[in-house]
Amino acid sequence: MLPLPEKFDENEWFLLLCVGLSYLVVFLLPRRFPRSLSVLFLLTGTTIARLSDHLLASPKLDLYNIMDTPNYDLFDLITYFLYAPFSYLFLYFYDKWNIRGYWILLYLVLSTAGGTLFEWINQEFGVFTYKGWQLSYSFSVYLAIQCLVLLFFHWVMRRQPIETADSH
């Protein structure tokens, strides 16, 4: 069992509120993808976040802490659940708005800016504590990751049998 935080304060409340609201938005939206793809797109965000934090917040680099301490606790795990709906929503609106051509670049830049802004808000609430990291680094990382996520999305969709909206 993962330990609970030493002190339950604003960052835990903020995280719980954001996780709850983001999943509520995902579940209230009309279904866009088959369930199997929806789960895959949700897991994509969580997996990328976990891998990134494993590299960047690991004891070797130790560029930032998640939540209150450098120790891994239950709320560190909960932060990964926050990335899933953002990954899903990124792909949901990309597909819904049928973004093509040069508009893809604008979509990537705006969504990256939005992700960086959201990270800044998380930092203000104490979800992240930077040690050697700077928020400006996050923009580049998010931009690269979102490009890869779009490539993955197109790869998956090319292999997906064409379905009607009724079969979703």
State pLDDT tens for residues 41-58: 999 989 998 888 777 777
Q: Confirm whether pTM is higher than 0.75.
A: yes
Beta bridge partners of 65: 129
pLDDT reading at 30 higher than 90:
yes
Residue 102 has a CB neighbour count (10 Å cut-off) of 8
* Token pair in block for residue 147: 């490009």
Tens of pLDDT, residue by residue over 64-96, are 888 888 888 899 889 989 999 999 999 999 999
Per-residue model confidence (pLDDT) at position 164: 44
